[in-house]
Amino acid sequence: MTLVERFLKYVSFDTQSAEGTNVTPSTPGQMVFAQYLKSELESLGLQDVTLDEHGYLLATLPANTDRVVPTIGFIAHMDTSPDMSGQNVNPRIVHAYDGTDITLCAEESIILSPKQFPELLFHKGEDLIVTDGKTLLGADDKAGIAEIVSAMVYLMEHPEIKHGKIRIGFNPDEEIGLGAHKFNVDAFGCDWAYTMDGGEVGELEFENFNAASAKVTIQGRNVHPGYAKGKMINALLVAHKFISMLPAGERPEHTEGYEGFYHLVGLEGDVDHATLNYILRDHDRARFEQRKATMAHIADALNAELGEGTVTLDMHDQYYNMRQQIEPVMHVIDIAKEAMLAAGVTPRVQAIRGGTDGAQLSFKGLPCPNIFAGGLNFHGRFEFVPIQSMEKARDVIVKIAELTALR
């Protein structure tokens, strides 16, 4: 099975994760896919293939050298985003893309255009795998899985490439922030690892946001509007006031690079009761803590004005910037850079404006930077992946294994 065939098979599995199910994996489709992958890895001849009750799939490619070589790992997630359906994915290949609009769905006039997505032009002449405009594609992160498996096959077929013990790990529920929560780092047994979960070719990331979630609950006081003077507290208007007290320029649509933000992801309610759901992000830990303090200050100010208990704030940290865990072991970045150059890829070291399983794994004792998998426009109908980008990612994995054994 080729890399492309493998990828197309993988995206046929519906593996959307889901918030709030309180089970792992959060959806049964992920376990179905994991069981398929387990059978495939066993049939390919990988060893120590294990799948636990939570959907964490681990396997080993044994060393083929007598040298003492660090054990390294490659990780990707099996779930796709809850943001759009991953059921009945119907991909197609646009061969030798010519730089013009791509019609995804003629009936609904859904067009993938370089006018809206100029990154398409960077892949002119390449072969693009696209959706039919009705689902996401699933390159995030089934491209990563296909690349890892294909790299292991390549190494088995080319024993002249010497490498140490390699572990691979495929986990559920990354898209809902839970991918690393039940990942058994001790059982994985690696000196370091890489998540294959980045986007454009060359991306190499060891910085990510510090992240928190915040739920703002507002208890209003609803009375007949004809007799409401001095009595009514309209929870919807309090919610509006809370929103307006946050810096308007520090929303995702106004930020880039290392700039953090407050992102309102949910709002519902009526006069009597309302809730706001936020995510808070910042690369700098001090600024991250200040963002949380700002939320608390606004809640306190509104309670002082309207009465204690009007506003309740519930905040939880989600993950932290992995940079502090990677800096003491920067050789893992140096190896990745060298591997990219050897594979004909220019490294593009940048900070993630998001998070990966690698961030949480790094804080669990497994240094785990992130490498490109090649997909673009994740989480929606305009997602696509160039075949040549997946091939480069596979080649980088092979080179990392080879270079680690030569050090």
Query: Which pTM does this prediction carry?
Result: 0.88
Question: Among residues 14, 79, 132, 203, which one is catalytic?
Answer: 79
174 is catalytic: yes
pLDDT category at 301 given cuts 50, 70, 90 is very high
Name the amino acid, one letter, at 56.
Y
Give the pLDDT score at 354: 82
Three-class SS string for 202-219? Answer: CEEEEECCEEEEEEEEEE
| Interval 353-362 mean pLDDT | 88
pLDDT more than 90, % of the chain: 96
Strands 370-372 and 192-198: parallel
- Work out the mean pLDDT of the chain and round it to a whole number: 96
Question: Among residues 174, 175, 207, 282, which one is catalytic?
Answer: 174
- Domain 211-319, architecture per CATH: 2-Layer Sandwich (3.30)
pLDDT category at 287 given cuts 50, 70, 90 is very high
Number of helices (H) and strands (E) in the chain: give both, helices first. Answer: 10, 17
Instruction: Look up residue 258 and give its two tokens.
Output: 């290392």
Distance CA 304, CA 324 (A): 39
| Interval 28-45 mean pLDDT | 98
Give the pLDDT score at 263: 97
| Interval 230-253 mean pLDDT | 97
From 153, 91, 90, 176, select the one nearest 127 (Cα to Cα). Answer: 91
Answer for the pair 108, 227: CB distance below 8 angstroms, yes or no. no
In the CATH hierarchy, which fold is given to the domain comprising 3-208+321-406? Aminopeptidase (3.40.630)
Backbone angles phi, psi at 316, to 5 degrees: -140, 130
| Interval 2-15 mean pLDDT | 98
| Interval 334-357 mean pLDDT | 94
Q: Give the model confidence (pLDDT) of 110-156 as tens digits.
A: 999 999 999 999 999 999 999 999 999 999 999 999 999 999 999 99
45 pLDDT higher than 90 = yes
Q: Give the model confidence (pLDDT) of 228-239 as tens digits.
A: 999 999 999 999
As annotated, the residues of the chain forming the CATH 3.30.70.360 domain(s) are 211-319
3-state SS assignment for residue 248:
coil
H-run or E-run covering 59: strand 57-61
As annotated, the residues of the chain forming the CATH 3.40.630.10 domain(s) are 3-208+321-406
